[in-house]
Structure 1
Amino acid sequence: MKVVLVGYMASGKSSVGKQLAKELGLEFVDLDNYIEQEQQNTINGIFQEKGEIFFRKLEHQMLSKVLEEKQNMVLSTGGGTPCYAGNMNTILAKSDHSIYLQLPVMALVNRMAIEKDQRPLVKDLSEDELAEFVGKHLFERRNYYSQATLVLDCLDKSIEELITEIKQELL
């Protein structure tokens, strides 16, 4: 079984993905980590050295590769992954289940404010700027995310509650 998690930065893709994989007895793959291992460079390093266009092409190649190579996994994608290079179509065609972890703007802002230092795209933004940034991105990306086979409202739910809901849909 191939399960792909999509959603905005800080929506819980990695946290939910690790636990879901464990409970389903599947491998967990974080696409950003996979890219970093394959390239022997950080995502930030790739962005700085080669630019976003190069990164998005690479991301598409790595997404296709991991979906071809691995038969049983839970894959956590980057927040922008579904929105470029036909990646959402690739996800829908090459996975058994795709799940959009959906949260409203302010819930995402609150989560991101706590861990801003680990998120280079937003670390220098004020809270108002962060809310505007997330709102704009979410407006642009929601159409891609919403194509997932399951849209999961994650507001005020624990990881355990989300895993239970996902397992009810998958099994």
Structure 2
Amino acid sequence: MILVLIGYMASGKTSVGKKLARKLNYDFVDLDDFIEEKEQLSVSEVFKVKGEIYFRKQEARYLNELLNLDSNFLLSVGGGTPCYSGNMDRILKAKNVKSIYLKASISTLVKKLMKKKATRPLIAHIDNEKDMTEFIGKHLFERLPFYNQAEIKIAIDHKLKDEIVEDIVLELF
């Protein structure tokens, strides 16, 4: 089975994903890392050099490639991945795939992202919690129709990573 973790940036797709993959004895694949390896450029370089349209086309192509593999692994996708190129439909229709939405409140995301904004180009320019709250609220509003299509939804607020992993395992099995 392929498990696909979706959610907003800082929702724990990578950190929870790695813990869950270890627990299930699955390989962990980060779609952005996969794209960087295939393109021989960082995601930000792909955006800068080839543009967002090119990136989104390649993202859909590589997502499709991974979803068609016949193996067990956990795939973490970018926060925007489900929202473009029919990717959420692709995830939902793929055989032997379960989608899991790591659902975080705006306030949880603001707290996490204010600490990490320097490493996130999309939000690096935001310098106060009020603007961050507004930005995330608007973004989430646009993305929720895609995220909410996931087969499993896991609330992550006020939980340790191990608790989130246990919640997912309980939902899966």
Matched position secondary structure for 2:149: coil
What is the CA–CA distance in structure 2 between the aligned matches of 1:54 and 1:137, rounded to whole Å? 21
What is the CA–CA distance in structure 2 between the aligned matches of 1:62 and 1:83, rounded to whole Å? 15
Counting only pairs closer than 5 Å after superposition, residues 1-80 of structure 1 correspond to structure 2 as 1-80=1-80
Using the TM superposition, give the Cα deviation of residue 169 of structure 1 relative to its aligned residue in structure 2, in angstroms: 1.2
1:135 corresponding residue in structure 2: 137
Identity %: 46
Unaligned runs of 5+ in 1: none
Counting only pairs closer than 5 Å after superposition, residues 121-132 of structure 1 correspond to structure 2 as 121-127=122-128, 128-132=130-134
Deviates more, 1:36-45 or 1:127-136: 127-136
What is the CA–CA distance in structure 2 between the aligned matches of 1:96 and 1:35, rounded to whole Å? 20
What TM-score, normalized to structure 2?
0.96
CA contact (8 A) 2:11 2:109 kept: yes
Return the letter of the residue paired with 2:65. K
What is the CA–CA distance in structure 2 between the aligned matches of 1:70 and 1:30, rounded to whole Å? 17
2:120 corresponding residue in structure 1: 119
CA contact (8 A) 2:11 2:103 kept: yes
What is the CA–CA distance in structure 2 between the aligned matches of 1:77 and 1:17, rounded to whole Å? 10
CA contact (8 A) 2:7 2:101 kept: yes
What is the CA–CA distance in structure 2 between the aligned matches of 1:108 and 1:169, rounded to whole Å? 23
What is the CA–CA distance in structure 2 between the aligned matches of 1:70 and 1:144, rounded to whole Å? 25
The count of corresponding residues between Structure 1 and Structure 2 is 171
Unaligned runs of 5+ in 2: none
What is the CA–CA distance in structure 2 between the aligned matches of 1:150 and 1:44, rounded to whole Å? 30
Return the letter of the residue paired with 1:99. I
Using the TM superposition, give the Cα deviation of residue 69 of structure 1 relative to its aligned residue in structure 2, in angstroms: 2.6
1:144 corresponding residue in structure 2: 146
What is the CA–CA distance in structure 2 between the aligned matches of 1:140 and 1:63, rounded to whole Å? 21
CA contact (8 A) 2:67 2:97 kept: no
What is the CA–CA distance in structure 1 between the aligned matches of 2:30 and 2:47, rounded to whole Å? 18
Matched position secondary structure for 1:89: helix
CA contact (8 A) 2:36 2:43 kept: yes
What is the CA–CA distance in structure 1 between the aligned matches of 2:144 and 2:123, rounded to whole Å? 19
Return the letter of the residue paired with 2:167. E
Q: Deviations over 1:59-114 (max 9, x none)?
A: 00010011113521000000000000000011111252111000111110110111
